[in-house]
Amino acid sequence: MHRLLWRGLRVGGRRLVGAQHRGGARLAEPSPSAPLPPGPCARASRRPAPTQPSNTARAKQVHGCPTIFFCRNNGYAISTGTGDQYASDGIAPRGLAFGMPTIRVDGNDVLAVYAATLEARKIALEEDTPVLVEAMTYRIGAHSTSDDDTKYRNPDSPEEGWDSERAYWEARSPIVRFGRYLHSRGMFNVRMEEQLRKQARKEAIATLNRAQAADKPHVQTLFSDVLDELPWNLSEQQSELVQHLENYAQHYTVSDKQLGGLKPR
């Protein structure tokens, strides 16, 4: 679940200094990293885990915050299919249960998602209410590089004519669908696509090479990206990490620059 943090918001007496996004009219304020006037913000759930959004959704609805909850329901939560997670018809009924205007949209249709998001924004602003958007899609890849999704992915296609569930959904890829739409409108063609793929690959490789050559970040950034003052438990963890790196230096390639003066207690 992506966290929305507002500059000035205090949690446990500590000010959050993480990523800044647009909040509701009563919460948002422009900041150097987000110089935007108050307006609706989007909270995105990458997977349909059933319990995560509940408290936030309830609070936003009770206080009338114009927040867009965008749930990308891709059918899986790490290694668990939605059929094993909840018995309801997706996430949309939960929005209705919280009294929120709710939109369900084909998440593989780029234009439909755009239109649904515009409508959600309009409702949020005009009615000063949170809105839930559920985009129905499919997770083609594994959850991570260490994830063997063959152990839990449904091997059967939802319709006849396809070898597997994955093959069924790959044919409905939003990239493929939108590409066909652009082709049909004369806005794109095979030659343009080939050139785009070559250019994108070239840029990706160049970016990867630059990233590999760049210095590794300072160890302290593991602890300093959310709170402006470290609580005691994070301070202890930071000190323990530095001590660990020093004790087992032969197993790590950590430079003095990355430690930057940090010392264990």
pLDDT band at 229 (very low <50, low <70, confident <90, very high): confident
The average confidence (pLDDT) of the chain is: 77
pLDDT recorded at residue 134: 96
Domain boundary among 139, 165, 194: 139
For 32-46, the pLDDT digits (tens) are 333 333 334 444 443
Predicted model pTM: 0.64
Number of domains in the chain: 2
In this model, does residue 175 exceed pLDDT 80?
yes
Residue 162 lies in a domain: no
Residue 239 lies in a domain: yes
Q: Are 136 and 105 in contact (CB under 8 A)?
A: yes
Same structural domain, 123 and 244: no
3-state secondary structure of 176: helix
Q: Which residue has the higher pLDDT, 200 or 77?
A: 200
Same structural domain, 8 and 132: yes
Mean per-residue pLDDT for 209-220? 87
pLDDT recorded at residue 87: 83
pLDDT recorded at residue 32: 32
Domain boundary among 139, 161, 180: 139
Same structural domain, 1 and 128: yes
How large is the angle between the packed helices 110-127 and 174-184, nearest 10 degrees? Answer: 100
Same structural domain, 118 and 3: yes
Tell me how far apart the 2 most distant CA atoms of the chain are, in Å. 66
Domain span including residue 55: 1-139
Same structural domain, 5 and 123: yes
Domain boundary among 110, 139, 168: 139
For 129-140, the pLDDT digits (tens) are 999 999 999 999
Residue 208 lies in a domain: no
Strand stretches in 3-121, DSSP E = 10-11, 14-15, 41-45, 67-73, 76-77, 80-81, 102-106
**Nearest by Cα to 227 from 217, 238, 216:** 238
Find the CATH number of the domain harbouring 9: 3.40.50.970
pLDDT recorded at residue 170: 92
Same structural domain, 8 and 134: yes
Q: Which residue has the higher pLDDT, 226 or 122?
A: 122
In this model, does residue 15 exceed pLDDT 80?
no
Mean per-residue pLDDT for 196-207? 97
Locate all alpha helices (DSSP H) within the chain, ordered by sequence: 54-63, 92-97, 110-127, 165-170, 174-184, 190-213, 232-247, 256-259
Residue 166 lies in a domain: no
Same structural domain, 119 and 245: no
C-alpha torsion sign, points 158, 174, 171, 77: negative
Residue 175 lies in a domain: no
DSSP strand pairing (80-81 vs 76-77): antiparallel
DSSP strand pairing (67-73 vs 14-15): unpaired
Residue 149 lies in a domain: no
Alpha-carbon distance of 96 to 90, in angstroms, equals 12
pLDDT recorded at residue 21: 34
Mean per-residue pLDDT for 232-239? 90
Residue 171 lies in a domain: no
For 87-116, the pLDDT digits (tens) are 888 899 999 998 899 999 999 999 999 999
Same structural domain, 223 and 115: no
Q: Are 230 and 223 in contact (CB under 8 A)?
A: yes
In this model, does residue 149 exceed pLDDT 80?
yes
Same structural domain, 103 and 225: no
Q: Which residue has the higher pLDDT, 94 or 252?
A: 94
Q: Are 68 and 53 in contact (CB under 8 A)?
A: no
Q: Which residue has the higher pLDDT, 5 or 263?
A: 263
In this model, does residue 26 exceed pLDDT 70?
no
Q: Which residue has the higher pLDDT, 50 or 3?
A: 50
Q: Which residue has the higher pLDDT, 74 or 259?
A: 74
Q: Which residue has the higher pLDDT, 252 or 235?
A: 235
Residue 181 lies in a domain: no
pLDDT recorded at residue 58: 60
